[in-house]
Amino acid sequence: MPPLKTPICDFGTNAKDFKLNSTDNKLISLNDIKGDAGTLVMFICNHCPYVKAVIKDIVEDCKNLEKLGIKSVAISSNDPINYPEDNFENMIKFAKEHQFNFPYLFDETQNVAKNYDAVCTPDFFGFNHNLELQYRGRIRELQNLKPVRAGDSDLYNAMKQIA
């Protein structure tokens, strides 16, 4: 996906269902990962410098959000022919290397990304317990791929409010 500015959140939009293969060789649907207090759908990829800059924060936030009843899922929709680093085998390695505590799914057709209007990586969609969109945005402010400030991320704070 090309790097673009994330569109403004369309509050209340319902999460779109999907059924995709995970790096654990399981077929995962939206209902499989729905959290009691909320659900975080993240569009990421392995090669993106922004994802690489915040991947530790993503994993940490998802671990802490799970304690609040919010489940998370990451989806890669990148074309592995144009971006070999984003192929399925490398997704498996990336998830293990960064100790993902959430499913990492491959959207080979890019249909799920299109259904969500995902335009960049990372692109975060935070849903409440009814799977209604409540947050769309960044994990935190970066400058030159470095966090501008310490402390909890924008994503964590927003999802905590949703829970």
**How many residues can be counted in the chain?**
163
- Rounded percentage of the chain residues whose pLDDT exceeds 70: 88
Ordered structural domains, the chain, with CATH: 19-162 (3.40.30.10)
Q: What is the pTM of this model?
A: 0.91
Lowest model confidence (mean pLDDT) among 22-31, 70-79, 82-91, 131-140: 131-140
Percent of the chain with pLDDT over 90: 77
Query: What's the Rg (C-alpha) of the chain?
Result: 14
